[in-house]
Amino acid sequence: MLAMIIYLKLHILLGIVGLFSGLMSGFFGVGGGTVTVPLLVFFGFNIKSAVGISVIQMFFGSIYGTYLNFKRGNIDIRKYSPFLLGGLLGGFFGAFLTSKVSEHFLYLLFLLILILAILRVFFSPAEHQLPEKESTILYIIIGMFIGMLSGMIGVGGAILMTPILVGFLNFSIKKAITVSLYFVIASSLSALVGLTYFGHVDISDGLVAALFSLFGVWFGIYLATFVNAKKHKNLLLIIYIITLAILISKIL
């Protein structure tokens, strides 16, 4: 009986985390690593287990979220597919590196990336007057770099992709969020394959979080239609800062 109660409490917790993470994913393009990993770590999971659960939740949530955005006409899938190719190439290598480094190193790497992302979004405009920079090769290179880091720290890549698209390629906040969620399909799939191979994934726990995240993704995308770009940017910064505070509290 005690074991059953513990089992139910665990899956209720995973469901709540998955639902909230899906909401953040649909609204901000982030959610998996940016939200799921810090929350699970806060609730007592070790970071490698949290990463394993996160990549499953990200994979299913990003597919569903991209489908919804495509149906709404928010994204040109073919135009931004080079990001996915790069993410697939880099993600598995990042997952391989996860098995070679310590948990402390992963905490510090995640912390550094989060700080850089906050600074980049803060100093970038919500809407650019300049046209988007378009380059297939550049898209692939960016995808490979972010995919590698995604595989290491369990973030789908949006936490890095969004600031890069906004800060360096002149994307609007809303377009960057949509493209970042699309990119997560590739980076999370590649990381999932790699992490499963190296024994860091609990499929059952990950599927519970993933199932509940689908409801959150739908609601997040729906809510995003009612928010202008400036508010979207400010709310994104708040999420980054809250995540940063949770991670720092765990490290200390």
Q: How many domains does the chain have?
A: 1
Highest mean pLDDT among 25-29, 48-52, 212-216: 212-216
Q: What is the pLDDT of residues 155-176, one digit of tens each?
A: 667 777 888 888 888 888 888 8
The whole-number pLDDT of residue 156 equals: 61
**pLDDT value of position 70:** 94
Q: Which of 18-32, 130-144, 200-214 has the lowest mean pLDDT?
A: 18-32
Distance of CA 79 to the CA centre of its chain: 21
CB 195 within 8 A of CB 52: yes
H helix runs in 75-172, sequence order: 81-98, 103-122, 136-153, 158-167
21-39: average pLDDT: 80
d(CA 153, CA 151): 6
Question: Which band of pLDDT confidence, cut at 50, 70 and 90, is reported for residue 251?
Answer: low
Cα 247 to Cα 193: distance, rounded to the nearest angstrom: 26
Mean pLDDT to the nearest integer, 174-201: 83
Question: Do the Cβ atoms of 200 and 98 come closer than 8 Å?
Answer: yes
Residue 57, domain extent: 2-251
pTM to 2 decimal places: 0.80
CA geometry: angle at 153 spanning 6 and 185, to 5°?
90
DSSP state of 124: S
Helix (H, G, I), strand (E, B) or coil at 142: helix
pLDDT digits (tens, 9 = 90+) for 202-240: 788 889 999 999 999 999 999 988 888 888 888 888 877
- Supply the mean pLDDT for the chain: 82
| Averaged pLDDT for residues 112-130 | 76
Average pLDDT over residues 118-123: 79
User: Whole-angstrom Cα distance, residue 212 to residue 48?
Assistant: 21
